[in-house]
Amino acid sequence: MIEIVMHAGEFYHPAHKETGSLKPLLPAIQAGFESLKKIDKGKVIDVFQKFSENVIKDPSTTGIEGVAFLSSWLRKANMMQIVEKNLRDLAYLDHFVGETKRIKAQPRGFACHWIAGNVPAIGLFSLFQSMLVGNANILRIPPKSHDTMVRLLKVFASSKIDSGLAGADLLESTAIIYYDRADQKANEELSDVADARIVWGGEEAVKSITGLPRRAHCEDVIFGPKYSFAVLDREAIASKNMPRVLRFLASDIFLFDQAACTSPHVVFCEKSNMDVATIARFLGEEMGKLAKRFPKTDIDQFIMTKIINARAEHALDPDASVVCSPENDWTILINKRPGLEEPIESRTIFLKEVDSIMDTLPHVTKKVQTIGCAVDDKAKLLAFADEATFRGVARCVNVGQMHLFDSPWDGVLFMSRLVNWVTVYHGD
């Protein structure tokens, strides 16, 4: 059974409408898709800008994790930058550009998104980029994110620009649905209608979706599964900015309960005038402050057990130590084991001392997505980033910016993958 959360601009939440098949949903989305073709894409960006202003003011959406970033990401200037990176010029979306040989970026058609449950707003990053290039969109979103998505999209629907165009008009080409992950029939049906499949999620989810039958022309864009970590060089540790670095690092650890592909799990610190125990103590103070501001709400027993075990292991190991809150809230695990560590999540970070951040490079694989860098030696940063990205890392960013959704993402210029580049010869 497929639950309908939103269809062609109509919201059915929390009492979801149900359907046994996707088929009845498609004609309205198709009609919305054709209407979207007629809308000037500059106007679409104007609606995004309006939503960007509304979403941080609206009482129904304040407090949603990541909403401030979503707002800044949707600003016209940022959107234009993303378009330029991906398509060179917005004009390609509206008409053929060029002289004799003219080129246009046509939408691929139906973009079907499988969204992970860890970052509720990720569905919107995926949707808005696909919508801007003119695709119809069907998003399968886990129940945990429904409430957040609906609150955000209702504000989007009511965001109207002077021309009269509103988010509600753009949502006519969109559906948000949910079905159990074991529902093979629904999964196959969604895959079957897709001209582009966009998958955000862990290994299991990605495998189960990419293994589904698809149309020959269908474009697959896969995000995940990934792992991230952070490095601090001795200059950064010694600098007066270190307290700010630790504050930003704590924020990167706390956001999305460390379940995102961009979440750091290990911090490598170059040997410096400050030992790791001291760094841990200062980081612990920052994590303690954040824990007070953002009490842990999602208590996962399995993860709590992992935290209990990791704390005990480090307390029993003569070469390791633990700095942590009394309850299983935040945890800093210091050890001398070389390399990365299996993620524990939920505000649990491993801290390790290295002679040089370059020593971490042998541990970098294509699984590593983001490295948060507090590296004051800029020559070292470039050399490190060049080696790390050569090994597969997609992003080397400042600590504190690990979760900032950007383009390219995961090595992909997302919008460019969601269009068909078409040509017309307009000459003799």
Partner 1 sequence: LDIKQAVNDLIAQEQFRIPQAEKDRVLLPILAQQVKDNMAFSQQLQKFYTSSGKDPSTYASIADIPPIPVSMFKKFSLKTCPDDQVARVLNSSATTSGIPSRIYINKETSFRQSKGLIAILKDFVGGSRRPVLVIDTENVNKDDADTLSARGAAIRGISNFGKKLVYVMDEKSGELFLNRQKLQGFIDEFKGQEILVSGFTYIIWTRFVKQVQDAGIKLDFPAMKLVHSGGWKKLAAQAVTKDVFSKALAGMFNTEQRNIVDFYGMVEQLGVVFLDCKAGHKHAPDFAEIIIRDPYTMKEQPSGKAGLIEIASIIPSSYPGQAIITEDIGEIVGVDDCPCGRKGKYFVFRSRVERAETRGCGDTFAERRKDR
CA 317 from centroid of its chain's CA atoms: 36
Q: Does 277 bind partner 1 (CB under 8 A)?
A: no
Q: How far is the CB of 326 from partner 1 (least distance, A)?
A: 8
Interacting stretch for partner 1, rule CB under 8 A, among 1-9, 22-30, 234-242, 301-309? Answer: 301-309
Helix axes 122-132, 76-87, angle to 10 degrees: 60
Q: Does 328 bind partner 1 (CB under 8 A)?
A: yes
Interacting stretch for partner 1, rule CB under 8 A, among 13-21, 53-61, 217-225, 275-283? Answer: 217-225
Residues with Cβ < 8 Å from 378, sequence gap 6 or more? Answer: none
Q: How far apart are CA 109 and CA 242, in angstroms?
A: 49
**Of 179, 223, 384, 405, which one interacts with partner 1 (CB under 8 A)?**
223
For 97-187, strand residue ranges (E) read: 97-98, 101-107, 110-114, 136-140, 174-178
**Of 18, 204, 275, 386, which one interacts with partner 1 (CB under 8 A)?**
204
Question: Of 341, 353, 177, nearest to 258 (Cα)?
Answer: 341
Do 95 and 178 touch, CB atoms closer than 8 A? no
End-to-end CA distance of the chain: 55
Q: How far is the CB of 329 from partner 1 (least distance, A)?
A: 8
Residues with Cβ < 8 Å from 280, sequence gap 6 or more? Answer: 321, 323, 332, 334, 351
Task: Report the phi/psi class of residue 172: left, alpha or beta, with left for phi > 0 and alpha for psi in -120 to 50.
Answer: alpha
Q: Does 368 bind partner 1 (CB under 8 A)?
A: yes
Per-residue binding string, partner 1, 348-367, x by CB under 8 A, is ---------------x-xxx
**Of 42, 202, 288, 408, which one interacts with partner 1 (CB under 8 A)?**
202
DSSP bridge partners of 332: 323, 349
Tokens of residue 345, six digits: 């999540």
Q: How far is the CB of 264 from partner 1 (least distance, A)?
A: 10
Q: Does 182 bind partner 1 (CB under 8 A)?
A: no
Q: In the chain, what is the greatest distance between 2 CA atoms, to the nearest angstrom?
A: 81
Q: Does 256 bind partner 1 (CB under 8 A)?
A: yes
Looking only at the bridges linking them, the beta strands covering 2-7 and 174-178 are antiparallel
Interacting stretch for partner 1, rule CB under 8 A, among 62-70, 124-132, 224-232, 237-245? Answer: 224-232
**Of 18, 89, 327, 386, which one interacts with partner 1 (CB under 8 A)?**
327
Q: Does 116 bind partner 1 (CB under 8 A)?
A: yes
Q: How far is the CB of 351 from partner 1 (least distance, A)?
A: 16
Q: Which CB atom, from 132 or from 291, has the smaller least distance to partner 1?
A: 291
Q: How far is the CB of 216 from partner 1 (least distance, A)?
A: 24
Q: How far apart are CA 146 and CA 21, in angstroms?
A: 20
In the three-class reduction of DSSP (H, G, I as helix; E, B as strand; rest coil), residue 244 is classed as helix
Interacting stretch for partner 1, rule CB under 8 A, among 83-91, 101-109, 326-334, 401-409? Answer: 326-334
Q: How far is the CB of 375 from partner 1 (least distance, A)?
A: 21
Q: Does 237 bind partner 1 (CB under 8 A)?
A: no
- Count of residues touching partner 1 (by CB under 8 A): 58
Q: Which CB atom, from 97 or from 304, has the smaller least distance to partner 1?
A: 304
Interacting stretch for partner 1, rule CB under 8 A, among 162-170, 183-191, 321-329, 371-379? Answer: 321-329
Q: Does 83 bind partner 1 (CB under 8 A)?
A: no
Q: Which CB atom, from 178 or from 223, has the smaller least distance to partner 1?
A: 223
Do 67 and 152 touch, CB atoms closer than 8 A? yes
Contacts to partner 1 by CB under 8 A: 116-119, 181, 200-205, 223-228, 256-261, 263, 265, 296, 299-305, 308-309, 311-313, 315-318, 321-322, 326-329, 340-343, 345, 363, 365-368
